[in-house]
Chains A and B, each alone.
Chain A
Amino acid sequence: MSKCRSVTSLLVAGLFAACLEQSTDAAEHSFTYPTTYDSGRPIAIEREQELRTTIPPDGFGLPEGQGTFTEGRAIYASKCQACHGDALQGTAVGTALVGGRGSLSSDSPKKTIESFWPYATSVFSYIRNTMPTIAPGSLTDEESYALMAFILASANIISTDEVMHKDTLAKVRMPNRDGFVPDDTLDIEVPMAGD
């Protein structure tokens, strides 16, 4: 037992000495955070456009392509109507897309694309990124533009002959465009499109 102990103490003493030695060496190590980490890799320039999935109100990043009311009506019938209803009125599983104008100051505000959404670009991004919910992100840019043409015309925001593309979509003025106020605790400006 005593032999064991002495071996152990020898080992401990040795380790201790090694530690001491290390701590002497430590002066030559740097224990500071670097100013740069050179972390990650550059994103290939051609991927930039594909990353722009949230389109701001001024339309920056809107893709090429276009769509019409008639094209949109056909896409809506096959991919959207089951949830949002044949008259865009909503069902138990999908929200109403039209109606509700003038209801926001009432006791039961009806919040639809027509009555509430302040920017067409937000609707476009949301549709293109997430719809239909059973196949999210499956709509092409052209299909998304066509659906915008169909929905906005159905909501009497544009006429049925207006073609939606990157130059026209951001210019659409939504009925509730001025219906939002930044929280008064926000210490930063909220620039709006066209301001």
Chain B
Amino acid sequence: MNPGQFKTPPTLPSRRRFIFGAGGLVIATAAGGETIASGAKQYAVPDDPRKQPGRPANDDDGYGVRSQFARTHRVGGPSWALTPIQDLYGTITPSALHFGIHHAGIPTIDPEKHRLFIHGMVKRNRELSMEDLLRLPRVTHTYFLECSGNTSSSWKEPRYNDIQMTHGQMSNTEWTGVPLRIVLQEVGLDPRATWVVAEGSDAAMMSRSIPLSKCLDDALLAFGQNGEELRPDQGFPLRLLLPGYEGNTSIKWLRRLEVTDRPHMTRMETRGYTDTLPDGRSRQFSFVMEAKSVITFPSAPMILDGRGFYEIAGLAWSGSGRITKVEVSADAGKHWTNARIEGPVLPKAFVRFRLPWQWDGRAAVLQSRCVDETGQVQPTQKELVESRGAKSFHHYNAIQQWGVNAKGEVSNVQV
């Protein structure tokens, strides 16, 4: 997302109490006892569900709704929505909870009228309908998407005492689509071509220049999200999906691909998603998301319900490949213990890690750090600021620290 969009701290979600970990029962209480049950239908609750026939299976008009007791929800504003990663159990982000950063709102697009134009340095310009694309060979893969602005509030100090605010600009999805390679081979690439400009069909005409090598590697023209059509906020009917790259390059509502021999220096790759260095110059085309992990349980602003056993849980991911190791420390980094990584460990996708922890009731600082198969080690905040300065906004991948005090209150700290 763009610098400055977090100027006003948005309304925080209700303070979560008694949350029994990712993978367990989640009970959230909104301020003033008000309940939040978006996306659900309200039914009368019988005293004993065994004593009353249940409702018919087709009561949902053919599209399921979640339980009226479920409370997991995104938070956001007009141009952004953050994933409640603290409340998610596994590695897949439900489509209804995927994060979104939009530069001019969410367009409504009729798939029958939608076209993908491929032009520029190609032998055969092509205009493809969705019907054309759906005839082509497809693949299904799980990949994370992370906004390069995720955790941007932590460069100088722990600004938000809420994991959804610090780390909510990331999701992990099973995507289905046509390998972009197939379509580019179809149009006949000029041998001098090196870049592809991708443009969306939203009012921002969101556009980025992408190295052709990436387009011929693992890039997807995606139309499937977790087994069904893309959600409108994820680019329905068609989006680019660039595994491991910063989220904004996976252009939503994809309308145009222009093959070229140089980047077009669009707003989003000059004014937008660049990283200003201490000397005033700005790093550009920093595509790959770095190795990163975060403990999602416990995390701020949870409150631990007394001393005893807790299963620490979190997520780790890298835009360069597979995660090979996650370590956890409970003493501000003095000692580290290997966490258990749950398989399958897929490249450029979330892994879930877990580690049993006996909390003795004293203050603790919890943190996780990961290593990926290229040897990238997640840095500390100090190391990252030393190498990049504190003027950057994007690509903050430092170790997250959660402080736990004697009352069990978890808070965002940098010690």
Residues of A within 8 A of B (CB): 33, 36-43, 48, 51-58, 95, 104-107, 109, 111, 116-119, 121-123, 125-126, 129-130, 133, 136-137, 179-183, 185-192
Contacts and interface: CB of A to CB of B under 8 A. Distances in A.
A42 B391 CA distance: 47
Interface of B: 3-4, 104, 117-119, 124-129, 132-133, 135-137, 182-183, 186, 194-195, 197, 199, 203-205, 207, 211, 213, 256, 258, 260-267, 270-271, 274, 276-288, 391
A181 B260 CA distance: 20
A126 B194 contact: no
Contacts of B124: 42
A185 B289 CA distance: 11
A191 B137 CA distance: 34
A39 B270 contact: no
A173 to B, nearest CB: 14
A186 B126 contact: no
Contacts of A117: 267, 270-271
7 contacts: A39-B128, A51-B258, A104-B276, A122-B270, A126-B266, A188-B213, A191-B261
B266 A179 contact: no
A105 B203 contact: no
Contacts of A122: 264-267, 270-271
Given A104-B276, A122-B267, A192-B262, 7 more contacts: A43-B117, A106-B280, A122-B271, A125-B267, A133-B203, A136-B205, A186-B211
A33 to B, nearest CB: 6
A181 B125 CA distance: 32
Contact of A37 (B127, B182, B199, B287): B182
Given A126-B267, A136-B203, A39 B183 contact: yes
Contacts of A42: 124-127
Given A43-B119, A54-B207, A179 B282 contact: yes
Contacts of B266: 54, 122, 125-126
Contacts of B133: 39
Contacts of A187: 211, 213
Given A51-B258, A179-B281, A183-B287, A43 B125 contact: yes
Question: Chain A's interface: helix, strand, loop or mixed, by majority?
Answer: loop
Given A40-B132, A53-B205, A48 B119 contact: yes
B283 A181 contact: yes
Contacts of A192: 262
Nearest to A188: B211
Given A54-B207, A105-B278, A109-B276, A185 B263 contact: no
Given A41-B126, A43-B125, A186 B213 contact: no
Given A183-B284, A187-B213, A40 B274 contact: no
A179 B124 CA distance: 37
Contact of B265 (A107, A119, A129, A181): A119
A144 to B, nearest CB: 13
Contacts of A39: 126, 128, 132-133, 135-136, 183, 186
Contacts of A186: 211, 285, 287
B280 A179 contact: yes
Given A37-B136, A117-B271, A183-B286, A51 B265 contact: no
A130 B270 contact: no
Contact of B285 (A111, A126, A190): A190
A38 B133 CA distance: 11
A21 to B, nearest CB: 28
Nearest to B7: A92
A190 B127 contact: no
Nearest to A35: B185
A66 B211 CA distance: 33
A56 B135 contact: no
A54 B264 CA distance: 6
A43 B183 contact: no
A185 B288 contact: yes
A181 B133 CA distance: 37
Most chain A CB within 10 A, of B260, B277, B285, B287, is at B285
Contact of A185 (B136, B264, B278, B286): B286
Contact of A180 (B203, B264, B267, B270): B270
Nearest to A41: B127
Most chain A CB within 10 A, of B126, B262, B274, B283, is at B262
B194 A188 contact: yes
A95 B207 CA distance: 20
Nearest to B2: A95
A181 B269 CA distance: 12
Contacts of A56: 260, 262-265
Nearest to B182: A37
Most chain A CB within 10 A, of B3, B117, B266, is at B266
A191 B262 CA distance: 6
Contact of A109 (B125, B270, B285, B391): B391
A125 B267 CA distance: 8
Most chain B CB within 10 A, of A43, A106, A107, is at A43
A40 B282 contact: no
A57 B263 CA distance: 9
A20 B165 CA distance: 59
A17 B89 CA distance: 47
Contact of A136 (B104, B197, B260): B104
B263 A53 contact: no
Contacts of B137: 33
A182 B274 CA distance: 10
B271 A111 contact: yes
